[in-house]
Amino acid sequence: MILDVREVTKQFGGLTAVDRVSFSLEGGEILGLIGPNGAGKTTLFNCINGVYSPTKGSVVFKGKDITGKHTYDIARLGLARTHQIVRPLNELTVRENVVAGACYGKDGLSLRDAAKVADDVMETVRLSERADVLASSLNVAQKKRLEMARALAAKPEMLLLDEVLAGLNTTEVSGMLDTIRHIREGGVTIIMIEHIMHAIMNLSDRIIVLNYGEMIADGSPEVVSQDEQVIEAYLGNPELAEQILEEGRA
pLDDT above 60 for 210: yes
Residue among 107, 111, 83 nearest 98 (CA) = 111
pLDDT interval class at 90 (50, 70, 90): very high
**pLDDT at position 76, please?**
92
Q: Where are the domains of the chain?
A: 3-78+157-249, 86-154
Which residues are CB-neighbours of 36 under 8 A, at least 6 positions away?
211, 233, 234
pLDDT interval class at 23 (50, 70, 90): very high
Q: Do residues 68 and 54 lie in contact, with contact meaning Cβ atoms separated by under 8 Å? A: yes
Pairing outcome for strands 30-34 and 206-211? parallel
Q: Answer positive or negative: Cα dihedral of 49, 216, 15, 85.
A: positive
pLDDT interval class at 245 (50, 70, 90): low
Rounded to an integer, the average pLDDT of 79-95 is: 94
pLDDT interval class at 235 (50, 70, 90): confident
CB atoms within 10 A of CB 133: 14
Angle 208-30-178 (CA atoms, 0-180°, nearest 5)? 125
**pLDDT at position 242, please?**
58
- Rounded to two decimals, the pTM is 0.91
- pLDDT 10s digits, 137-171: 999 999 999 999 999 999 999 999 999 999 899 99
Residues in the chain: 250
What percent of the chain shows pLDDT beyond 70? 94
**pLDDT at position 246, please?**
59
Q: What CATH number is given for 3-78+157-249 in this structure?
A: 3.40.50.300
Radius of gyration in angstroms for the set of CA atoms belonging to the chain, rounded to a whole number: 18
pLDDT interval class at 104 (50, 70, 90): confident
Q: Do residues 1 and 26 lie in contact, with contact meaning Cβ atoms separated by under 8 Å? A: yes
Q: Do residues 160 and 45 lie in contact, with contact meaning Cβ atoms separated by under 8 Å? A: yes
**pLDDT at position 241, please?**
55
Rounded to an integer, the average pLDDT of 117-137 is: 95
Angle 209-52-85 (CA atoms, 0-180°, nearest 5)? 70
pLDDT above 70 for 109: yes
Residues β-bridged to residue 162: 193
Can you say how many angstroms the Cα of residue 2 is from the centroid of all Cα atoms in its chain? 15
Amino acid at 142: Q
Rounded to an integer, the average pLDDT of 172-196 is: 94
